[in-house]
Structures are given as C-alpha cells and as structure tokens.
Chains A and B, each alone.
Chain A
Amino acid sequence: MESVWISLQVGAAATLLSLPAAIVVAWFLERSRMPGRQVVQTLVWLPLVLPPVVTGYLLLKAFSPRGALGQVLDGLAMPVAFHWLGAVTAAAVVGFPLFVMMIVLAMKAVDPRLEIISCSLGRSPWQTFWRVTLPLCWPGILVGAAISFARGLGEFGATIVLAGRIPGETETIPLRIYAELDAPGGEHRITGLVMVSIALCVLAVIAARALDVWYRRRLELER
C-alpha cells in the first residue's frame, strides 16, 4: 500500500503545483492579446504528444545536478532528479496540457461581455479576473485538476527516467506494477494495485464531473 500512498501524494502535489501555472497559461492563451500565444500553445501541448520517456529525458537534462535548474534547486536543498520531487515534477509536466486545456474550455464558456461589464463598472482587468472570470471558471478548474490528478497517478515513462524507482520515495503505483510484472509470480500480487488504480481514477473523474454539474446548475450556466 506504500506505493498507493506515494501515488496519492505525488498526484495531489503535482496538481497543486501546476494549478497556478495552468490558470495563468490558460488565461494567456484564451484571454490575452499578447504576442507569442502560438509558441506557448505548442510548448504546452508538447508533453501530450512527446513519448513520456523523451519528456523524462528532457526533464532529467534540466533537473540533473549538472542541469541549469537542477543546480539552482540543489542549492536550495530541493533536489529533483531521483527524488520524490522528481516524481511530482514528471506528473505535473505530463498532466499540464490536459489541465490547461480544461481551464481554457472553461474560460471560453465565460461570456467575455461579463468582463466588459465588470470593467465598465470600475473594476480593473485584474480585479475582473479575480471577481468574475475565475469564480465562473471553477467548474473547469476542478475538472482539469481531477484529470491532471488522474494523469499523475498513471504517469510512468517520465517518472522512471527523472525520478527512478526508489521504493518508499518515488515508487508510484505504475512503477510498482511494472516491478512486480518483472518478478516471478508478481502478476498475482498486482491485482489489488490495479483495482485501486482504476478506482482512484474513476472516483476522481466522477467527483470532478459531479462538482462541475452542481456548480453549473447553481449558476445556471448550463440549461
């Protein structure tokens, strides 16, 4: 059960870590008129289309003690490569495109004229974002968080390259299943893990969908 607990921690931390960035990037892609949106869009989509092992390799280059980011984080006593934080980073990066996509969809559903009305009433664009756009986006943010969390639970390729398989630290459910399948008779030992894995993902998506429906009905965003 240790790997289940690690998976839950990694998935939750990855979701929380990427939440602010996902909101900012989604706003930049959907609402800002600044240049560079196409470039950012492409970068955001990359982890979704790249082989996870390649994503892991690129992250390892960046976060290894000799990498640019790795040196800084090591200096701050926050090592990433082959540490728990590495599993979190891999899960966050791989789940990020889905997270951003869901928030972008939620922002698209918010009538931009509400933001115009807010500004006409004297609220700055920043205040408008906090008071109108964000509260009306919560359903999409919740769904995005749930999908990002579920994706984090299932992350394998990037995690094993960046964080390795360290029992008790970076060995998440998929890594444990992989290790068991590699050992004689391990197939019989993974049934429980597979069931837990499926149950967690299904629960996350159902909970997010239920919250989404409840919130939309409450605001009558959807008839």
Chain B
Amino acid sequence: MKLEVNANVRRPNGFRLEVELSCETPVLGLVGPSGCGKSTLLDAIAGIEPGAHVVLDDHDLSRVPLHRRGVGYVTQDALLFPHLTVRRNLAYSPTAGPIEAVARALGIAHLLDRMPRHLSGGERRRTALARAIVSRPKILLLDEPFGGLDETRRREALALVGDVNRAFRIPMVIVSHVTEEVIGLADHTVRLELGRMSAAGPSITLLSASETRVDNYLVGRVVGPGRVAVDGVELRAAMPAEAHGSVRLACYAHDVLLAKHPPVEVSARNVISSRITAVIPTGHAMLVEIERPRLRAIVTSEAAAAMDVQVGREIVAIIKATAITFLGSASC
C-alpha cells in the first residue's frame, strides 16, 4: 500500500489536525495519546472528515465520496446493523463477495443466522471485521480494534488482526493509543501528538524504553500434551489439555531471556538455540530478533553490550512454558 495523506482539519473546539504523511507499507499504525487526532486522521483517510488530500496506490481519493472509496471501516464498538442478522450484515455491501469463507476464517460461521443482540462482544468485533473484509475494500481502517478488552481478549484480537492480514492481504491502517499493540502488526507507524505528527518510521524504532510489552505471536501444531511445534522447533506452553491441531500462541518479548550458552539445570522448559537476525535499539533497550522460531526479546542496552549481541551471532533463548499463552485454534 502506498498512502499519501495531507490533512488539515479544524474543529469548533479549537482542535486542529495538521498531518502530512507519505508511506509505503502493507500495515500502517497510527498511535498517540487520547485526543491527539488519530481517529480524526483515520476519518480523513476514509472521507468522513472532508477536505483531506488522500492518495492511495496512486489513485487520488480526495474528491471520492465515502461510499465510493472502497474503505473497510471498523470501529471499537463494532456497529453492526441491529435490525439485520449476521448473514445480512456480512452481505450488506453491494460489492460483497462470498461470505461463508470469511465467516469460517473468522470463526463466526455458526453465528450467521443470529441477530447482533445475541452475540458476545468478541463475536460482534469479528462480525464487524468480517463484514468489512467481505466488502472487498482497497484498505481496512481499524479504529482502536483492541480498546476496552481485557488482556486475554486483547491478545486474541491482536492475533486475529494478524491472521486477517496474512490470510486476506488487505492493506490496513490501525489506530491505537497503545504503541506496543500495533508494533507486532504494523511495519510502519506514525505517532501523533496534539494534532501533529511527532514521529514516523519503522514501527519498532518508535518504541520507547517504557514500552517494552511487545508481543510475539506464534502459530504451531500441537504434538503432544503441552507441546507445540513452531517453525520446526518444539516448545512447551501452558495449553489446555483439549488443544489440538493448529494453535495460536503469544508471549511477551520481555519474557524471553537470552544466554550465550545453554544454562545448566534451569526451570524454564524452553531452551532454544538460534541465531540473531536483527538488533534494534529502542531507547534504553535493545530489541533482539532470533530466527527459529521467529521471536523477539527485549534486553537492556547494558545487557546487550555485556553479551556482545550482534546480528548473525549464535544465541540461546530461554522461555518459561507458563510465559507462552495459548490464544486458541488457528482459524486462518
């Protein structure tokens, strides 16, 4: 996705959004504190907020009305049409493709004949996402898709959006007030403050030292009780006994320890020999990426220096089985 936006929006309350951005990325993250203008910028891209100059993949959308822009707009509170069943919600768009495949992928195939009032919060969000995907948009705009969720649900939602991105390959713009939420999904991130762009660049470089709760998302196959194969490496994870087949897992980057040599008699069940593929400074910390399984660890700059962390170096990653959370079956 190649996106250019020049938005200059004034609100009656004095708020002013002045953003000029240009990027080429499959997933763009918009982050910043509440009230900084993220949602306004998203509305400008969608065409809800008039007057913004928007060019998507060399097509000037500035004068194209919302209903002809081909944007899939998904908000935090789903906004399903309450008088239509899930099936009719999904088939609402005149450009809607077959709904069954998307419904299956998002785990709502069994809900198609229900009314929205009979859905749980998570089911509503998945339906809203499915409805946007079925409409075959040129771009998906997700406004705080992880807002108001508890930790488990948030991780599930993050993994779901990641799945959608991989399975349907629709360019996305994701708005969140929590930087680390979009780091794992967006390749490029723009940070807004007081209606202006305060930083932009590869997502990982926008992390500050205090924002180290980076999630690692893993997809693997259960090979035994509490055991799952990820990228050909067998991991121990805290999984329910009934888990089987393809599963999604997550663990925080700060729960991954690094060692130069395999430790002796350690309680952690996962000791993985791998190789460093990237080292990214993030304020006072270093984000270290290893190749198999693809994982990221956060270490302090001091620890990185002491261990002489460098790209290409052999390293041992250590993760407690309980630090790897089971998110659910992999649907996409």
Q: Is the CB of A220 within 8 A of B117?
A: yes
A92 to nearest B CB, angstroms?
Answer: 29
A168 within 8 A of B: no
A141 to nearest B CB, angstroms?
Answer: 14
Q: How many residues of B contact A (CB 8 A)?
A: 25
* B67-84 near A? 1/0 per residue, CB < 8 Å: 111111101000101110
Of chain B, the residue at the smallest CB distance from A111 is: B79
The CA of A111 and the CA of B93, in the complex, are separated in Å by 19
The CA of A122 and the CA of B92, in the complex, are separated in Å by 9
Q: How many residues of A contact B (CB 8 A)?
A: 21
Of chain A, the residue at the smallest CB distance from B134 is: A121
State which residues 104-157 of A face B: CB under 8 Å. Answer: 111, 113-114, 116-125, 128, 131-132, 135-136
Q: Is the CB of A221 within 8 A of B92?
A: no
Q: Is the CB of A122 within 8 A of B95?
A: yes
Q: Is the CB of A116 within 8 A of B117?
A: no
What B residues does A34 contact at CB under 8 A?
none
The CA of A84 and the CA of B116, in the complex, are separated in Å by 47
What B residues does A132 contact at CB under 8 A?
81
B188 within 8 A of A: no
Q: Is the CB of B67 within 8 A of A122?
A: yes
Question: A111, A114, A120, A123: which contacts B94 (Cβ < 8 A)?
Answer: A123
What B residues does A114 contact at CB under 8 A?
79, 81
A219 within 8 A of B: yes
Q: Is the CB of B83 within 8 A of A135?
A: yes
B48 within 8 A of A: yes
A130 to nearest B CB, angstroms?
Answer: 12
State which residues 49-82 of A face B: CB under 8 Å. Answer: none
The CA of A132 and the CA of B88, in the complex, are separated in Å by 12
Residue of A117, A118, A128, A132 ringed by the most chain B CB atoms within 10 A: A117
What A residues does B132 contact at CB under 8 A?
120-121
Of chain A, the residue at the smallest CB distance from B69 is: A120
Q: Is the CB of A124 within 8 A of B67?
A: yes
* B49-82 near A? 1/0 per residue, CB < 8 Å: 0000000000000000111111111010001011
Of chain A, the residue at the smallest CB distance from B74 is: A117
State which residues 14-58 of A face B: CB under 8 Å. Answer: none
A105 to nearest B CB, angstroms?
Answer: 18
Q: Is the CB of B131 within 8 A of A120?
A: no
Residue of A122, A123, A132, A220 ringed by the most chain B CB atoms within 10 A: A122
The CA of A114 and the CA of B84, in the complex, are separated in Å by 12
Kindly list the 7 A-B residue pairs having the minimum CB-CB distance in the complex, ordered from nearest: A220-B117, A120-B73, A121-B93, A119-B67, A219-B82, A119-B66, A122-B93
A-B contact pairs, 20 of them (CB 8 A): A113-B79, A114-B81, A116-B73, A117-B73, A117-B81, A119-B67, A120-B46, A120-B48, A121-B92, A121-B132, A122-B68, A122-B70, A122-B135, A123-B92, A124-B67, A135-B83, A136-B82, A220-B82, A220-B117, A221-B82
Chain B residues close to A by CB (< 8 Å): 46, 48, 65-73, 75, 79, 81-83, 92-95, 116-117, 131-132, 135
| Besides A116-B73, A117-B73, A221-B82, 15 other A-B contacts (C-beta < 8 A) | A116-B48, A117-B79, A118-B92, A120-B46, A120-B67, A121-B132, A122-B93, A122-B94, A122-B135, A123-B67, A125-B67, A128-B67, A136-B82, A136-B83, A219-B82
